[in-house]
Chains A and B, each alone.
Chain A
Amino acid sequence: MAAVVAVALSFPSMAPSPYELTVGIAIVNYAVLSTSWNFVGGFTGYISLGHGAFAGLGAYTTALLVTKADLPSFAALFVSAALVAVLAVPVGYAALRVRGASFVIVSIALVLIMLLVFQSWSSFTGGSRGLVVPRPFPGMLRSEHHEVFYFLFLALLAVALLTWWIIDRSRFGMGLKAIREDEDKAQSLGTPTYTYKLVVFVVSATFTALAGGLYGLWFGDLDPVFQFSILSGAYMVLMALLGGVRHLYGPLLGAVIVGYGLEYSKLEYGDTPLHLVFAGLLLGVVVMFMPDGVIPAATGLIARVFKTGETSIREVTAAELREERGQGGAEPAPGSPGQKREVKQ
């Protein structure tokens, strides 16, 4: 763990060129986005395909607050995140009232509607001509600028991971995970599932907006087609799922793998439609064959390769179970009526 942190921190000084540094920034940005997505997706199991909308809103609101309201860049970033959080409440209200399918539909609709609005309302948003965001540090050299933003993204990632970890071990997190497992059951045990879902949805949207806003400040040029792309939301899902949604570092791992692959193929092959094909195929493979991600798959493999004396909890349990069944404590087979009568006599 410490090694990973050390590498992450020293990456800017090791990066051979500003280009590598921008790839690093893009990957850390992906990591923040997919970790933010995982607040909803990982804890509650609700898959949002529209988190790109929150990132785009974060970017655009930050940019508009800087350009139209003359707010200082980083004040604008936090105000924008707060505004997105406020907006996430009615969205979540509509999306979370019914289970599952409607949530996905709303999440996709959100991206499409934002794309429509930001393209059509070009007098305010710049439309497809784009919106230029003034740099927060005007006097800075390009490479210094990248370096500063690399660390800003890294800091945001640390805060997002810390928040996820706190929720993960909390009672709140326990309730959220119960929702993922069986929402009716959680409710019948007294968990206010609707409120829980709404709160975590807003938290997730806020972090996503922060990542989007920071991206806007760094990149400096926004276009609705890229900001409100269904694809950016899809990448978040793919990264989180590939790494493993039940794990703190799952989305981060997925972001490193997918993000690196994306940036590399962009450099090698340019922007071809085959990106979509590969993203689609990878997502399909993950969904079909390893919905829990590579972390459980890899740990399982490592456990098999290095057969140490220490067995996993699962195995102990299985042994205990056999023992238990041997004693005839509780049979899994449903009792037949015949058996019942026997006991009665």
Chain B
Amino acid sequence: MPSASLVFQSIVLGVLLGGLYALLAAGLTLYFGVMRVVMIAHSAFLILAAYLAWYAHRETGIDPLLTLLVTVPLFFAAGVAMQRLLLTRLRPATLTMMSVLLTFSIALVIEGLLGYAFSGTQRRIRLGYSSASLEFFGARIAVVKLIAFGMAAAALLGLYLLMKHSRFGQALRATIQHREAAALLGIDTDRIAGYGFGLGLATAAVGGTALALDTTIYPSLHWHWIGPLMAIIVVGGLGSVPGAAIAAMALGMTQSLLQLELSTTWAQTVFYVALFATLAVRPQGFFGGRLAQRF
């Protein structure tokens, strides 16, 4: 039986991890909301951002956080371009399936190029504060994990405020809920969908930089992220941002607690167990509305 402080530490770590999951799952939910697309390449872009942060740090010694200034706009633009140039050209009838394949192929290309450019070697950023940690009611929490969580939380909050209080956010939500109706109200839904895609990819930029701070990265790492993230959005209900956030927190915490008793790999199976259980019991997910039922 692990001690109380160990359990507490696991809970804190679970929350910190859940924050990152929540941000990334929000991105996946955005793509699904605006385009009904399951974006397999999301986590490949995540790893790409992590590599860019690592590379910039290795070459110039700048703080990885500064790369955000470049990667966030870059990824936003890439997301818009991807939606406008690739996804809108697919036949609407087979969009869901074909977009999966298209984003899958993008993931393969990114993984392959990363492997080619940086080899399959495991990489890790060493920072002055890499080993620093805080005592927190008996729990030892690495500073970098707190920073990563802070970034995720700030990005999520920004996303929330944008969605709730800006004119663009209103248009985006209208597009997600009912595209035809939004178009009738004079919203340029194609443009909005493009921006929604860009926002989703921007979450991968933030997440990737956060990830690079305290994780060892390698080109095929994205497969270890896409599985859990997709499980999260299904459990939360496809298309529901709050659902994704709650599921991310719950599953992140469970994973963290399971690691006390099980190995890391076995603890990861919690996502898949949750995925299958959800589909068997409540296929529309636990927070999904009408949207989720048809997909």
Residues of A within 8 A of B (CB): 45-47, 49, 90, 93-95, 97-102, 104-106, 108-109, 112-113, 116-117, 119-120, 230-231, 234, 237, 241, 272-284, 287-288, 291
Q: Is the CB of A94 within 8 A of B101?
A: no
- Given A90-B280, A97-B280, A98-B283: 4 more A-B contacts, CB < 8 Å: A94-B280, A98-B293, A101-B36, A291-B94
Q: Is the CB of A112 within 8 A of B100?
A: no
Distance of A231 Cα from B108 Cα, bound (Å)? 9
Q: Does B122 contact A (CB under 8 A)?
A: no
Q: Is the CB of B108 within 8 A of A234?
A: yes
Known: A120-B263, A237-B101, A273-B219. A94 touches B227 (CB 8 A): no
Q: Is the CB of B116 within 8 A of A47?
A: no
Residues on the B chain within 8 Å of A283, using CB: 101-102, 104-105, 108
Q: Which residue of A lies closest to B102 (CB)?
A: A287
Residues on the A chain within 8 Å of B26, using CB: none
The 7 closest A-B pairs by CB, nearest first: A273-B115, A276-B112, A280-B108, A277-B112, A280-B109, A283-B105, A284-B105
Q: Is the CB of A95 within 8 A of B279?
A: yes
Of residues 264 to 289 in B, which have CB atoms within 8 Å of A's CB atoms?
Answer: 265-266, 268-269, 271-272, 275-276, 279-280, 283-284
Q: Is the CB of B227 within 8 A of A112?
A: yes
Q: Is the CB of B283 within 8 A of A102?
A: yes
Of residues 71 to 97 in B, which have CB atoms within 8 Å of A's CB atoms?
Answer: 86, 89-91, 94, 96-97
Q: Does B258 contact A (CB under 8 A)?
A: no
Q: Does B223 contact A (CB under 8 A)?
A: yes
Q: Does B294 contact A (CB under 8 A)?
A: yes
Residues on the A chain within 8 Å of B279, using CB: 94-95, 97-98, 102, 106
Q: Is the CB of A99 within 8 A of B97?
A: no
User: Could you say which of B100, B108, B268, B276 contacts A94, with CB atoms under 8 Å apart?
Assistant: B276
Q: Separation in Å of the B89 CB from the closest CB of chain A?
A: 7
Distance of A237 Cα from B97 Cα, bound (Å)? 12
Residues on the A chain within 8 Å of B271, using CB: 109
User: Could you say which of B100, B112, B224, B280 contacts A275, with CB atoms under 8 Å apart?
Assistant: B112
Q: Is the CB of A280 within 8 A of B105?
A: yes
Q: Is the CB of A101 within 8 A of B295?
A: yes
Q: Is the CB of A105 within 8 A of B275?
A: yes
Known: A46-B97, A109-B227, A274-B116. A102 touches B105 (CB 8 A): no
Distance of A120 Cα from B267 Cα, bound (Å)? 11
Q: Is the CB of B295 within 8 A of A102?
A: yes
Distance of A281 Cα from B100 Cα, bound (Å)? 14
Residues on the A chain within 8 Å of B226, using CB: 108
Q: Is the CB of B106 within 8 A of A284?
A: yes
Distance of A172 Cα from B63 Cα, bound (Å)? 61
Q: Which residue of B lies closest to A183 (CB)?
A: B294
Main secondary structure of the interface of A (DSSP, over half): helix
Q: Which residue of A lies closest to B275 (CB)?
A: A109
Q: Is the CB of B106 within 8 A of A112?
A: no
Distance of A233 Cα from B131 Cα, bound (Å)? 40
Q: Does B111 contact A (CB under 8 A)?
A: yes
User: Could you say which of B104, B113, B284 contacts A277, with CB atoms under 8 Å apart?
Assistant: B113
Known: A100-B96, A109-B230, A230-B223. A273 touches B116 (CB 8 A): yes
Distance of A109 Cα from B65 Cα, bound (Å)? 32
Q: Which residue of B lies closest to A275 (CB)?
A: B112
Q: Is the CB of A287 within 8 A of B272?
A: no
Q: Does B257 contact A (CB under 8 A)?
A: no
Q: Separation in Å of the A250 CB from the closest CB of chain B?
A: 16
Distance of A102 Cα from B113 Cα, bound (Å)? 29
Distance of A108 Cα from B97 Cα, bound (Å)? 13
User: Could you say which of A105, A237, A273 contacts B113, with CB atoms under 8 Å apart?
Assistant: A273
Distance of A237 Cα from B105 Cα, bound (Å)? 11
Q: Is the CB of B295 within 8 A of A99?
A: yes
Q: Is the CB of B86 within 8 A of A93?
A: no
Residues on the B chain within 8 Å of A284, using CB: 102, 105-106, 109
Q: Is the CB of B283 within 8 A of A287?
A: no
Q: Separation in Å of the B180 CB from the closest CB of chain A?
A: 17
Q: Is the CB of B283 within 8 A of A112?
A: no
Known: A105-B275, A116-B268, A284-B106. A276 touches B38 (CB 8 A): no
Distance of A291 Cα from B280 Cα, bound (Å)? 32
Residues on the A chain within 8 Å of B275, using CB: 105-106, 109
Q: Separation in Å of the B99 CB from the closest CB of chain A?
A: 9
Q: Separation in Å of the B248 CB from the closest CB of chain A?
A: 15
Q: Is the CB of A119 within 8 A of B265?
A: yes
Q: Is the CB of B102 within 8 A of A273?
A: no
Distance of A116 Cα from B269 Cα, bound (Å)? 8
Q: Is the CB of B102 within 8 A of A101?
A: no
Distance of A104 Cα from B109 Cα, bound (Å)? 19
Distance of A184 Cα from B231 Cα, bound (Å)? 26
